[in-house]
Structure 1
Amino acid sequence: MNLIGAALLFLIALLFALAGITRAGVWLIERRSPPAGEFAEVNGARIHYAHIPAPAGADLTPLVFIHGASANLKDQMLPLKPLLEGRAEMLFLDRPGLGWSRRGNNETLAAQADTIAALMDRLGIAKAIVVAHSFGGAITTAFARQHPEKTAGLVFVSPATHPWPGGATAWYYKLTAMPVVGWLFSETLAYPAGMLRIGDATACVFSPNTLPDFYLQNASIPLVLRPSAFRANARDVAQLHDYVRA
């Protein structure tokens, strides 16, 4: 066997090994982070959500929470639900493709906004204040533009709503959003590399504040390292700059 053939066989074996490590990692992540809510089929997607009905004597307008990139419904539900429970009806959801929600036909920010509106209809929430964090800010602007009759108000927390100089994002988002190459990367390298970097990357997000104890585990952040979620997240981020600029 010549050197090129041996190198090719080694590369194939390495990819299969990384794919096996990823599959085992996905199993472990899902075992440690089971669904925290319920599921509904909405606009061709299976959406995972947690709905807290309005209590008697609620003094606040219903609240809908839209999380950011790489996250899931726990990111907002863990800190905010205890502060607001008993005062308002609340809806937390995994955006399509992230957390435990399936992607469905939700490749654009506008489509995701429509799916959130449809879920509100399913649950009988006629109008709400939408609370958006980070990337969720872009989804929320689409929601307010397309569904003003459902929008009682908007709350933006560190939102992605305007263009930033250069429009740059992390290299792995661009790579993963590419056809074929992105699929291969997400199925082999994204999980092992992501697990090595996830602590430092999350600490960077919180900087200059300190990363809260047990945040990664409690908020189930490793769910984003599953291949399908990693690709959905990358495709979202890849279109963000063009959307907010438009």
Structure 2
Amino acid sequence: MIQFLFALLVIVLLLMAGLAWFTWNTKRGAELAIPPRGRFIDLPGTRLHYTDEGSGPAIVMIHGLGGQMGNFNMALTPLLTGDHRVIVIDRPGMGWSSRDEDAAANPRAQADTVAALIDALGLERPLIVGHSLGGAIALCLAMDHPARTRGLALLAPLTQPPSGAIDAFAGLNIKGRAKLFAMSWLLAIPMAIRTAPQVLDQVFGPEKVPDNYAIQGGALLGLRPASFRSTSRDYLASGRDLRWMAGQYDSLKVPVRILFGAEDRILEAELHGRALVADHPHIGLEVIEGGHMLPITQAAACARFIRETEGVIAAGGRS
């Protein structure tokens, strides 16, 4: 019996070692394929990685859950840098940005980081573009730091608690640092690779995933233990500020406009767009054909929407 238990223990340890080796090898391959593309700046709780391109009125872009700057730089940024200074960040803990283990992950805390970046770069009230969870962070920035932005152009933003569980994010509901660390090194990456087709279909659908998304879009950087842990923490903390946000919409001091894809499978345009605007008509809304990943699949429409938002701001409007 003792020999059987010993043999079983050896098998389990070998299996764990094999999984950890597979995760490390995948992590190393992703980092070699997608090295840092921008600059680094030290801010409270993070060493932030960002790109800074073009000249003209400043725009700061904030990506969504599980993403990184490639979500914007793959298709949207090149359409704006001809007449704008476009700053795109890897949010703390994502892409090549670090995040201290004890740093808060909720949207208001991440908005504080964006505010610190705006100050550090000496930006004069940039337009904030937020996608998905980045939209919630942008809204918190406008609510907590209204003097640091001239307005928001939000792409498929998270604006209130979702109506139900989102299947694509089911594996992120992991509580406890030890459990999360073990999961990130043993099972998370193999499972992410195995379920990638189903997850990407939900995230991009009904539109197709571009062939170059893994490298040019930076998706491979999500196949790292630290990225998984940060995404899980962001997911668990994302709801913390949504109820607070709901009570602040009428007090927004800057123009806010929203662009949604009618077929979004992650965040419903009806709930996060139409219902929001029905209660707060000073917020502008446009719904187009498309899914959730508008900065990649509908880059031209997003660029037009961003420029139209600037026109609304210049005219002194709020919608």
Shorter-chain TM-score above 0.5 = yes
1:68-98 deviation line (CA, Å, top 9, x unaligned): 0111011112211221112111110000000
Cα 1:171/1:5, change in 2 over 3 Å: farther
Q: How is 1:163-202 mapped onto 2 (pairs within 5 angstroms)?
A: 163-166=161-164, 170-175=169-174, 177-202=175-200
2-side partners of 1:164 and 1:52: how far apart?
34
Q: Which residue of 2 aligns with 1:80?
A: 76
Which structure 1 segments of 5+ residues have no match?
none
Deviation at 1:46, TM superposition (A): 0.7
Opposite residue 100 of structure 1, the aligned amino acid is: W
Deviations 1:80-130 (A, max 9, x none): 122111211111000000000001324332221111111111111121111
Q: Which runs of 4+ in 1 moved over 6 A?
A: none
| 1:10 alignment partner, SS class | helix
Q: Distance in 1 between matches of 2:163 and 2:54?
A: 42
Equivalent-residue separation in structure 2 for 1:51 and 1:73 (angstroms): 11
TM-score relative to the length of structure 1 = 0.91
Q: What residue is the counterpart of 1:12 in the other structure?
A: 13
Conserved 8 A contact 2:47-2:97: yes
Residue 64 to residue 236, structure 1, CA distance change in 2 (3 Å): same
Are the equivalent residues in 2 in contact too, given 1:50–1:91 (CA < 8 A)?
yes
Q: What secondary structure, in the 3-state scheme, does the structure 2 residue paired with 1:215 have?
A: coil
Residue type of the alignment partner of 1:135: L
Q: CA deviation at 1:171?
A: 2.9
How big is each residue's C-alpha offset from its partner over 1:191-228, in whole Å with a ceiling of 9 and x where there is no partner? 22212222432232111111122212211112122111
1:44 is displaced (CA, Å) by 3.4
Q: In 2, are the aligned partners of 1:96 and 1:106 still within 8 Å (CA)?
A: no
* Counterpart secondary structure, 2:61: strand
Q: Which of the numbers 96, 99, 102 marks the counterpart of 1:103? A: 99
State the alpha-carbon separation in 2 of the partners of residues 89 and 171 from structure 1. 37
User: How many residue pairs get matched?
Assistant: 240
Distance (whole Å) between structure 1 residues aligned to residue 104 and residue 220 of structure 2: 22
Structure 2: runs of 5 or more not aligned: 245-319
1:43 matched to 2:44? The reply is yes
Task: Supply the distance in 2 between the matched residues of 1:13 and 1:233 (Cα, whole angstroms).
Answer: 28
Mapped partners of 2:17, 2:117: distance in 1? 39
2:237 pairs with 1:236 = no
1:68 aligns with 2:64: yes
Out of 94-103 and 165-174, give the one that drifted further: 165-174
Corresponding residue of 1:118: 116
Matches of 1:236 and 1:160, distance apart in 2? 13
The answer (yes or no) to whether the contact 1:67–1:134 under 8 Å persists in 2 is yes
Verify the 8 A CA contact 1:64 1:91 in the aligned structure 2.
Answer: yes
Q: Are 2:106 and 2:238, in contact at CA under 8 Å, matched by a contact in 1?
A: no
Which amino acid letter does the alignment assign opposite residue 163 of structure 1? Answer: P
RMSD: 1.7
1:243 offset after TM fit, Å?
2.4
Q: Which moved more, 1:16-25 or 1:159-168?
A: 159-168
State the alpha-carbon separation in 2 of the partners of residues 159 and 220 from structure 1.
21
Distance 1:77 1:183 in 2: 30
TM-score (norm 2): 0.71
* Partner Cα separation in structure 1 for residue 26 and residue 206 of structure 2: 30
- What is the CA distance between 1:29 and its match in structure 2? 0.5
* SS of match in other structure, 1:86: coil
Distance 1:41 1:241 in 2: 27
Cα distance in 1 between the residues matched to 2:98 and 2:116: 15
Shift of 1:167: 5.1
